[in-house]
Structure 1
Amino acid sequence: MSVCLIVAVAPSALILWWILVRDRADPEPPGLVWGTVGLGALSSVWAVGLELLADKLGPGMADAAGEGMPLGSALVAATFVGLAEESGKLLAVLALPFRRREFNQIFDGVLYCVAASLGFATLENILYVGMSGLTDGPFGIALTGTMRAVTAVPGHAGFGILMGLWVGAAKMVPRKRTRFLLTGFGVATAAHALYDAVLFTGTWTGILIVPILAIVVTWSLIGIRHVQQRDLAYARSFWAWRRRVDEAAEAMRLAPAPEGRHLSDQ
């Protein structure tokens, strides 16, 4: 059991660590980060509920993996899954960190959306790896854990980054908040749906998962680099302004009072 947990949790832990060490401008409180991870895991209840509802409306839509569905049907099913899972992650971020004053830069959107996504991915990974261990023993744990460590877990993190770039912008630009939140949700859902669709076909098209993941990871890295540079530039300008204000205040405090101001001394 301990080996199963390590195999299931390690990929998410490594990715979250990689994100956290890049939060240099104004690091986030650990409690808030882990709280978001927990809410992300709980969002799986929301996602499963929506997927079950979708399955009631159209049997098979939410349970398509490995059934060799035609690409068109797979896209429909994957869109339902993407909507359910990404909406749960977004709600987790909006429910906790988005409301807090510590969320004060664009990169925070990336960090918290990734935290929620990895909370979801970790719980999902524990279930998949655990079931493989029960049916195929150590070989199943190793195979499923390795495959998901290089596909599903980075995929969830990448979708979180794509959404987080827009969520961070939404927090910083209140007048465009709704537009940015919907854009981030739409981008993450579309990427997630495309990823799942090629898996749901159960055919040779599954090889397309490689370029899809490559594109998601590339855009995520580009987005992170751009946002980091922007946040650091803003932080430097802010602290430079504060330093000038403090220096001016100190100069005024030390300056001698003008003649005639202290009438009681005359």
Structure 2
Amino acid sequence: MIALIGAAIAPGIALLSYFYLRDTLEPEPISMVIREFIFGVLLAFPIMVIQYIIQTEWGLTNEYSHAIINSAMIEEFFKWLVVFLTAYKHVEFDEPYDGIVYSVAISLGFATLENFFYLILNGEETALWRALLPVSSHALFGVWMGYYFGLGKFTDKPNRKQWKLVAAFVIPFVFHCLYNLTFTVMKDEWWLVIVPFMIFLWYHGLKKVQLAHDYGSKKADTRPH
């Protein structure tokens, strides 16, 4: 059991540490990051209840509705909501990259508990696959979400703020849909699509990390000293 717990939580902790340590401008209080990670863990429980209700009460049980509504939409919306309610308006959210840190923390908290349940049901032999795909994909969805949260909070054009907040949900949702539908449509040949898709997410996700840093640096340079 100890080995299984380690295999379940290690990918999430490693990825969160990586994105946290990329914050070279003004690192967030570790207590805040841990808090958001815990919020992500706790978020898994109401999401599972809602997903169960959608399947049993609403009758949305086919694989396409599960991929789009029951998984991508529900999970990304509630992650977005928790970031907005607990981090977006917090005083510690004081530079654009902070959106990425907090969104990734919540996403990985959720993914870590999900990973734990999956490994209990399917065994430790699936741990590497889970780390490379589901856990890291949640982290990358969090990067895109956090990037647009950062733009929304610090944009110099107030009329664009709402659009950035909408993008913080819509873009991760679309990517999550594409991720899920790859396994639904491609069946045994899913790897032909998912490998280049994950490379795309990593490449452009890391570019978003750099852009958020650059944007934050410009903001810091304009502050009065």
Letter in 1 for 2:138: H
The Cα of 1:211 is off from its aligned counterpart by 1.6
The Cα of 1:160 is off from its aligned counterpart by 0.5
The Cα of 1:146 is off from its aligned counterpart by 0.7
- Find out whether 1:47 has 2:47 as its counterpart: yes
SS at match of 1:57: coil
Structure 1 residues 105-124: aligned runs within 5 Å: 105-124=95-114
Q: How far apart in 2 are the matches of 1:108 and 1:148?
A: 26
Letter in 2 for 1:57: W
In the alignment, is the contact (CA less than 8 A) between 1:9 and 1:122 conserved in 2? yes
SS at match of 1:26: coil
Which runs of 5 or more residues in structure 1 are unaligned? Answer: 65-73, 133-139, 243-266
Larger Rg: 1
- Map of 1:186 onto structure 2: 170
- Map of 1:196 onto structure 2: 180
Q: How far apart in 2 are the matches of 1:237 and 1:167?
A: 20
- Map of 2:221 onto structure 1: 236
Number of equivalenced pairs: 220
In the alignment, is the contact (CA less than 8 A) between 1:198 and 1:205 conserved in 2? no
Q: How far apart in 1 are the matches of 2:37 and 2:216?
A: 23
Q: CA RMSD in A?
A: 1.6
SS at match of 1:27: coil
TM-score (norm 2): 0.91
Q: How far apart in 2 are the matches of 1:130 and 1:54?
A: 24
- Map of 1:5 onto structure 2: 5
SS at match of 1:28: coil
In the alignment, is the contact (CA less than 8 A) between 2:108 and 2:139 conserved in 1? yes
Letter in 2 for 1:98: Y
* Percent identity of paired positions between Structure 1 and Structure 2: 28
Q: How far apart in 1 are the matches of 2:50 and 2:201?
A: 25
- Map of 2:32 onto structure 1: 32
The Cα of 1:158 is off from its aligned counterpart by 0.6
Letter in 2 for 1:159: F
SS at match of 2:23: coil
The Cα of 1:21 is off from its aligned counterpart by 0.8
- Find out whether 1:170 has 2:152 as its counterpart: yes
Q: How far apart in 2 are the matches of 1:198 and 1:100?
A: 37
In the alignment, is the contact (CA less than 8 A) between 1:77 and 1:197 conserved in 2? no
The Cα of 1:119 is off from its aligned counterpart by 0.2
Larger deviation: 50-59 or 79-88?
50-59
TM-score (norm 1): 0.78
Structure 1 residues 152-163: aligned runs within 5 Å: 152-163=134-145
Runs of 4+ in 1 over 6 A off after TM superposition: none
Q: How far apart in 1 are the matches of 2:85 and 2:36?
A: 9
- Map of 1:91 onto structure 2: 81
- Find out whether 1:210 has 2:192 as its counterpart: no
The Cα of 1:39 is off from its aligned counterpart by 0.9
Q: How far apart in 2 are the matches of 1:123 and 1:216?
A: 22
The Cα of 1:202 is off from its aligned counterpart by 6.4
Larger deviation: 51-60 or 23-32?
51-60
